[in-house]
């Protein structure tokens, strides 16, 4: 790895020799049959498109803070990674507040309250396939599902992150780009974990990075569906991990 940054880690894990066709993110929704599975390649493609949107359309640059207010969803694994690719800081949040952030990203339940705040808003319908909202959004709010599909499938940061740049601001943890790479190392190879942890949370970030670094996978189950976790873990040949 040329530099201990997330971009270098992702480049390493998408090489053909790293088997990027293996499942990395599997998400179960609350509805019947709601299941989405992304290989490393497919997930990296979503990360590239989202990072391109951040940088090229929304003017987010290295060092900017992006507030992430998202429930359990496969897009919750994409957004932090897109921020890290840009060199921005992904910050877990809940609810609007006065802030010096460059952007806030939210789901449908909190669009109105975020739109009333001072920070620009990108909203996702959280449709299983990432589709746009079916109805209008408040003025000025960007519909992620409407704009992400036109973004390129490859991404290069205008100002690449450095290893000691801040990358993650969780509820209890702050991580640098170097810390992200460190977390991705030292985990047993090929392990799949199933969890009700929030992807946009300290535990969720750890699960994702360890899976990415080890050639394993993650299976995400909403916290309100905890009773389904053992059966889903068994069907996915995954090990249950705490939230």
- What is the mean pLDDT, run by run of 10 residues, along the chain of 243 residues? 90 94 95 92 98 98 97 96 98 79 96 93 93 95 97 96 97 96 83 96 96 96 90 96 83
Domain boundaries, the chain: 6-240
Q: Which CATH architecture has domain 6-240?
A: 3-Layer(aba) Sandwich (3.40)
Q: With CA atoms as reference, report the closest residue to 124 among 228, 207, 49.
A: 49
Q: Is 124 helix (H, G, I), strand (E, B) or coil?
A: coil
Q: What is the reported pLDDT for 186? A: 66
Percent helix, strand and coil across the chain, each to the nearest 5: 35, 20, 45
What's phi and psi for 68, nearest 5 deg?
Answer: -115, 115
- What dihedral do alpha carbons 70, 221, 13, 156 form, nearest 10°? -20
Mapped onto helix, strand or coil, the DSSP state of residue 119 is coil
Nearest-CA neighbor of 36 among 215, 199, 207, 153?
A: 199
What pLDDT is stored for residue 94 in this prediction?
77
What is the model's pLDDT at position 166?
Answer: 98
- Give the residues across from 32 on adjacent strands: none
What is the predicted pLDDT for the residue at 190? 84
Residue with tokens 């780009």: 177
Q: Which residues pair with 122 in a beta bridge?
A: 105, 142
């Amino acid at each position: 790895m040329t530099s201990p940054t997330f971009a270098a880690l992702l480049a390493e894990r998408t090489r053909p020799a790293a088997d990027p066709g293996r499942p990395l993110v599997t998400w179960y929704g609350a509805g019947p049959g709601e299941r989405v599975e992304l290989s490393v390649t497919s997930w990296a493609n979503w990360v590239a498109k989202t990072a391109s949107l951040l940088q090229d359309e929304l003017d987010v640059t290295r060092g900017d803070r992006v507030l992430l207010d998202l429930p359990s969803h496969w897009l919750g694994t994409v957004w932090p990674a897109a921020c890290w690719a840009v060199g921005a800081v992904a910050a877990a949040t809940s609810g609007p507040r006065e802030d010096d952030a460059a952007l806030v990203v939210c789901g449908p339940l909190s669009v109105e309250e975020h739109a009333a705040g001072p920070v620009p808003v990108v909203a996702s319908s959280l449709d299983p396939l990432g589709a746009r909202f079916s109805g209008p959004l408040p003025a000025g709010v960007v519909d992620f599902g409407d704009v992400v599909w036109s973004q390129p499938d490859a991404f290069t940061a205008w100002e690449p992150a450095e290893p000691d740049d801040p990358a993650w601001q969780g509820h209890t943890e702050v991580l640098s780009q170097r810390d992200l790479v460190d977390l991705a190392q030292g985990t047993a190879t090929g392990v799949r974990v199933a969890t009700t942890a929030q992807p946009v949370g300290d535990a969720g970030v750890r699960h994702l990075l360890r899976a990415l670094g080890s050639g394993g996978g993650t299976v995400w189950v909403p916290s309100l569906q905890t009773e389904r976790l053992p059966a889903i873990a068994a069907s996915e040949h995954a090990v249950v991990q705490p939230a």
